[in-house]
Chain A
Amino acid sequence: MEGPPILSMKGISKEFFGNQVLKNVDLIARPGEIHALVGENGAGKSTLMNILFGMPVIHSTGGFKGEIEIGGEKVTIANPHEAMNHGIGMVHQEFMLIPDFSITENIKVGREIGKPTMLSKFLGSSMDILDRRAMSKDAQNALSRIGMSIEDYVKVAGLPIGYKQFVEIAREIDKTGIKLLVFDEPTAVLTESEAERLLDIMRRIARQGIAIIFITHRLDEVLAVADSLTILRDGELIERTMTKDMTVVEIAGKMIGRKVERLVDVADTVRELDDDTVALELRNFSVAMPGEQVSQMDVSVKKGEIFGFGGLAGQGKIGIINGIMGLYPSEGDALVFGKKLQLDRLGDALRNGMAFVSEDRRGVGLLLNESIERNIIFSSMQIHNKFLWKRGPFSTLNRKQSKEHALKMIRLLDIRCTGPNQKSRSLSGGNQQKVCLARALTMDPNILIVAEPTRGIDIGAKKLVLEHLVKLNAEKGVTIVIISSELVELRSVCDRIAIVAEGKVSQILPPDASDAAFGLAMSGMSIHDAEGEGEVHHE
C-alpha cells in the first residue's frame, strides 16, 4: 500500500455553466490499493471520473482546473482512448458487453490481435487478419487472473448476469499495462452472493499490484474491501483516510454532513392498528415473472399497517407487486378489503383503491418524455376521470386544476425541478422517484404499494421519501406496503416485515427482531429450525 501513487489528481476544480461542481479536490491511488470514492448523488464523483477519462462532456464545457499525474508524470488526457493508453480502465455499472459476441470477442473488443496480410501493407492494420488462437489465449489468461474458468467461445448472451460483470472485468484486466481500474457502482445489479464474489475478485486484482478506485453507495462494502477512502460532499473533499479508522456511521455522517442514526424517527407517531380488518390478502398467489417468481404465497396485511416485504434479489418479492398490478400473469387470489381483484384485467387493482410505485422507474414508472405535471396526474385522470372538463360526450384536460395540483405536489415532496413542465426524463433519480410517489398519492389510495422506493437515490432523498410514507400512514391512515432490498430501511419504518425466500413468505418478523433472525429468514429458515440443527450463527 506504500510507495508512490499511480494516480494523483491535484486541485481539481470544474464548473458547468457557472455551477461549481468540484472545488479543489485531490484524489490519490497507490499500487495494490483499493480506494473507495464515496459521496451522495451530486457530490461530484462522476464528474471527477469524467475528468480522469477525458470524456467529451468535460472538454466541451470548458475543461477543468488542476493537474493529473500518472506514475509521477504530469499528463493531459484528451479522450477516453488516451486514458486507456495510460493504463486506466473502467468497469461500468451497465454492462458494456455485446451479447452476440463470444467471451473472447468481448474481452478483445477494439484490441483484436491481427496478423498482417498483403493488403495491410497498403491499407494499414485494419486489413490484418484476426489471430483468433492468440486472442483466445489472452482471454483465458485474463479470466484465470480473476479466478474464472469458462469456455471462452461461449456467447455472452447466455451467461448469468453476475458472470457478465466478470467478463467485463476480464476485458479491463486484459488491457496491457493496466495500472488503475475504476469500478463504478459494480454491485448495484448483483445479488448478494454475486456481490461478495465481486469483492473477492477486487481483492485478487489489487494483490496483482493494480490500483482500484471503487465507487459505491453501499458503505458496508467499503468497509469490507477498501483500504482507504475519499469522501466528497457537494464537490468538496471532506476527508481522505484509511478505512480501518472509520465506522459506517462515521462515513455516512461525513457524507451527508449531519449525524444519521435512523433513517426515520417514528417513535412519536401514535397509531391505532385495526387488527380485525384485513386490507390486502394474498391467497395461494403465484406470479410468473422471470427472475422474480412468486409461488403459492399466503399473506395478509392489516388495515393501517406499514408492512414490509424484504429478502434477497431474485427470491420473488418484486413479483408480488407486478402480479397484483397485472403486469405479469398470475394465479390465485388477491383480495382488497375482502373484494377479489380480477388480476387479468389491467388496472383493476387501481380501480379498487390501490396505488403503486413500480421498482422499474424508467421503464414502467414514468412517461419519460412527458412533463412532471402530466406524470403526476396521469393515473388519476385515466382511472378516476379527475382533472377533466366534461363537455357533453367529450372531455378535455383541465389544465388549471392539473397545474395547481402538480405545483402542490412539487412543494409537498420537494421535487427539485425547473417547474411542472420539465420533462421527467431530465430529472435525477431521486426526483423521478418523488414524481412516481406524487402520482400514487394523487390516486388518493387506501392501500399504497411501493417497490424499491429508495433504489439508486441518495441518502437525503431517501430519508424524505420514507418520512413522507410514514406521515401519509399516520395522518391519513393509508395502509402502506413497502417492498425493498434494503433491510435497514424496512426495519426503520415497518410494523411487520415479511421475508420472501423462493417465492414464499419465509418468516414475518417485527422490525426489532435480531439480525440473525432476519439472516436466517432470508435463507428460508427460522431460528427454531437452526437451533434444531444445533447450528446458530450469530453475527
Chain B
Amino acid sequence: MKNKEDQRSQSTPVTEVALPDESRSRKVLSWVFDNKVMLLFGILCIGAVAVSGNSTSFVVENIFIRFGRNGFTVLSLLIPVLAGMGLNFSIVIGAIAAQVGLFFAVDWGMAGMPGMLVAFAIATPLSVLFGFGVGRLFNKMKGAEMIAGLILGFFADGLYQLFFLYILGGVLPIRSENLGIPGGIGIKNTIDLTGNMKYALDRVKMIDLVLVLFIVIALLSVIRIITHLKNKKTFPVGAAVLLIGSAVLYGLTYIPAIEQYLMADQLAVIDAIGIVCLLTVLRSVWKLAENKRHPDAHFRTRRHIILIAGAVVVYAATYIPFVRDIVLSAKIAVLPFALVAGLCVFNQAFLSTRLGQNMRTVGQSQVIANASGIHVDRVRILAMIISTVLACWGQLIYLQNLGTFATYGAHLQVGQFAIAALLVGGASVQKATNKQAITGVILFHTLFIVAPEAGKALFNNAMIGEYFRVFVSYGVIALALAMHAWQRKVKPQLEMPR
C-alpha cells in the first residue's frame, strides 16, 4: 500500500531505530537467573531421590499417577495470573463446588461414568456462580486479590462445614443412610468412593475416547459444510477432507489388533512417549511446510528443527535399556491425561483469542485497558469464572483418582499445594505458562514422593520423615515467594561514568 501519504511524507526523513543485540553468554546467564527457582528445586529433587533410596522406576511411576491427579488443578491457575489477579488462592471454592456435586451424585446412588457426569452437571453451574461472586468481590478489592482469595477460602470453608454438618441431614434430607453420622445429623468424616466413583474417569477406555472424538469432529465438519453451502455456495474442501480423514482413521479402529490395543484404559508411558514424539515431529514438519508456502519473517525455523531432532533423540532414548527399565512399569490413565493436554491446548489457544488478548491487556494495565474500551471488570469476572470452573473439574478428577473423599479436608490444601507446584515450576505472581505448570507439578510431587524416605534416611526416624514432608510443602511456598520477591527487587548495578 504505497499511498499518497507515503509520497507526501517524504519531506521528513524516516527514522530508523536500532536495537541492541544480546550476546549468547549473556542469554544463557539470564536464562539461569530467570529460572533459578526451578533449577534449585530440580537439584533438590535429584538429591532427595538419591538420598531416599527409592528406585527411580517407583518415583517415575508415582509421578505419572500424581500428575494425572493434580495437573488439571494447577493448570487452572494460569488464567487469573494472565489477567493480573495473581495466584488464585480462591480455587478452594471451585473445589468446594466439586465436592458438593460429587456428594449428591454419591448420595443419589449413582456410580461410574454416569455418576461422574451428574457430579459435573451439578458442580459446574455452582462453580460458575461461585466464580462470578468471587470475581465481583475481587473487583471491589483490586490489588488485594491474593489475600482476599486466601481469606475467602477460609470463609467458604466455614459455610461448607455449616452445610455438611448441619443443613445436610438437618434441613435437607439425605438418601443414603450410611453417609450420615450415625445417630446424629450431618455427614460423616470420610466418604469411601470405592465401588461407585473411584477411577470413574481413569478407567475410560481409549476406544471410547476415540469414538467421542470422531463424533465431535464429524459433527463439526458436517455443520461447517452445511453452513458454507447455505451462505457462500463454495464447497469447503478442508472440512470435507477432515471428515473423510477422521472417518478413515476411525475405520482403522475396527482392525482387530488396533481394537485390542485401544480396549485398554491405560497407556504404557513408553507408548505415550512414542506418540508424543510422533505428534511433535508431524507438527513441526507441518509448520515448516506452511512457512515454505507463506514465508514469515519472524518464523523460527531453527526452533522447529531442534524440536524434531529432540523428539527423535527422546524416542531413541527409550531403547536404552536403563531408560526403558525406568519407564516400563509406568502407565498413565488416558482420560485424565487427555484432559490435562486439552487444558494446555485450551490455555494456549485462549491466548490467541480476542478475549485472551484483552485479558492480557487488563493484566498489564487496567488503566490502559479501560481507555481502550475493554470492560475491565467483566474480563476479570470471566477470568475468575473460568479458573473456578477449571479448579472444580480438577478437584473431581483428583477425588475420583484418590478414591476416598475426606468430607471436611479434601479441599483445604488445594490452593496452597497447586500454587506451590506452580511456583516451583518457575512461575511468578505476574507470569505463568503451561510449561511452568507442568514442570512445577513434576518437581513438587517428586519431592513429595521421596521426602518421607529421604527424611528417614537422613535422620533415621520415620516421624521426622513425615515432618519433613509437611515442612517441605509449606517451605517451598515461602521460599518460592521469597525468591521471587528478591528477583523483583534486584536492581542493575550502577557504573560510575568515566
**Interface of A toward B, CB cutoff 8 Å:** 80-81, 84, 96-101, 105, 109-112, 114, 117-118, 125-130, 132-133, 141, 144-145, 147-151, 153-154, 158-160, 163, 166, 197, 200-201, 204, 207-208, 286-290, 293-296, 328-329, 331, 503
Contact = CB atoms under 8 A, between A and B. Distances in A.
A84 B374 CA distance: 13
Contacts of A295: 497-498
B15 interface: yes
Given A98-B365, A133-B296, 5 more contacts: A96-B368, A110-B373, A112-B354, A154-B19, A329-B494
B368 A128 contact: no
A290 B368 contact: no
Contacts of A329: 494, 496
Contacts of A141: 1
Contacts of B354: 112, 114, 125-128, 130
Nearest to B378: A126
A502 B5 CA distance: 38
28 contacts: A80-B373, A96-B365, A98-B365, A99-B364, A109-B369, A112-B354, A114-B354, A126-B354, A126-B358, A127-B354, A129-B349, A129-B353, A130-B352, A145-B5, A145-B9, A147-B12, A148-B15, A149-B17, A160-B17, A204-B11, A204-B12, A207-B8, A208-B8, A288-B496, A294-B497, A295-B497, A329-B494, A503-B497
Nearest to B227: A121
Given A98-B361, A288-B497, A150 B17 contact: yes
A327 to B, nearest CB: 12
A295 to B, nearest CB: 4
B255 interface: no
Contacts of A112: 354, 357
A264 B1 CA distance: 55
Nearest to B494: A288
Nearest to A95: B368
User: Which residue, A80, A96, A117, A125, has most C-beta atoms of chain B within 10 A?
Assistant: A96
B358 A147 contact: no
Contact of A151 (B6, B11, B19, B494): B19
Interface in B355-399: 355, 357-358, 360-361, 364-365, 367-369, 371-374
B298 interface: yes
Contacts of B368: 96-98, 109
A404 B352 CA distance: 62
8 nearest interchain CB pairs? A110-B372, A288-B494, A295-B497, A126-B355, A293-B497, A98-B364, A81-B373, A150-B17
A503 B6 CA distance: 40
B256 interface: no
A145 B8 CA distance: 10
A371 B496 CA distance: 38
B496 A286 contact: yes
A221 to B, nearest CB: 17
B183 interface: no
A145 B15 CA distance: 12
A203 B451 CA distance: 69
A110 B12 contact: no
Given A159-B17, A286-B496, A84 B361 contact: no
A218 B364 CA distance: 33
Given A127-B355, A130-B353, A154-B19, A328 B371 contact: no
Contacts of B498: 286, 295-296
A151 B298 CA distance: 10
Given A98-B365, A147-B15, A163-B17, A129 B373 contact: no
B188 to A, nearest CB: 42
Nearest to B371: A96
B316 interface: no
A148 B17 CA distance: 8
A153 B298 contact: yes
B317 interface: no
Contact of B357 (A96, A130, A133, A148): A130
Nearest to A140: B1
B13 A147 contact: yes
A153 B298 CA distance: 9
A136 to B, nearest CB: 9
A127 B353 contact: yes
Contacts of A294: 497
Contacts of B365: 96, 98
Nearest to A118: B220
A201 B352 CA distance: 33
B12 A84 contact: no
Contacts of A147: 9, 12-15
A524 B373 CA distance: 47
Contacts of B353: 114, 117, 126-130
B250 to A, nearest CB: 20
Contact of B6 (A111, A144, A197, A286): A144
Contacts of B371: 80, 96, 110
Nearest to A166: B15
Contacts of B349: 129
Max count, chain A CB within 10 A of own CB: residue among B12, B15, B298: B15
Nearest to A81: B373
A207 B10 CA distance: 12
Contact of A149 (B16, B224, B352, B355): B16
Nearest to A137: B1
Nearest to B4: A208
A99 B365 CA distance: 10
B15 A288 contact: no
Contacts of A158: 19-20
A503 B374 CA distance: 45
Given A96-B367, A126-B355, A153-B298, A148 B19 contact: no
Contacts of B496: 286, 288, 329, 331
Nearest to A294: B497
Most buried by A among B220, B361, B496: B496
Interface in B447-498: 494-498
A201 B11 CA distance: 11
Contacts of B494: 288-290, 328-329
A111 B15 contact: no
A85 B14 CA distance: 30
Most buried by B among A133, A293, A294: A293
B122 to A, nearest CB: 23
A160 B1 CA distance: 28
Contacts of B11: 204
A132 B298 CA distance: 12
Contacts of A208: 5, 8
Contacts of A149: 14-17
B372 A111 contact: yes
A158 B357 CA distance: 21
Contacts of B5: 145, 208
Contacts of A96: 365, 367-368, 371
Contacts of B373: 80-81, 84, 110-111
Contacts of A151: 19
Contacts of A130: 352-354, 357
Given A147-B13, A149-B17, A105 B357 contact: yes
Contacts of B1: 141
Contacts of B358: 110, 126
A196 B58 CA distance: 69
A458 to B, nearest CB: 26
Contacts of A133: 296
Contacts of A290: 494
Contacts of A80: 371, 373
B12 A200 contact: yes
Nearest to B223: A118
A356 to B, nearest CB: 20
A118 B219 CA distance: 12
A289 B491 CA distance: 13
B372 A109 contact: yes
A148 B352 contact: no
A287 B354 CA distance: 47
Contacts of A145: 5-6, 9
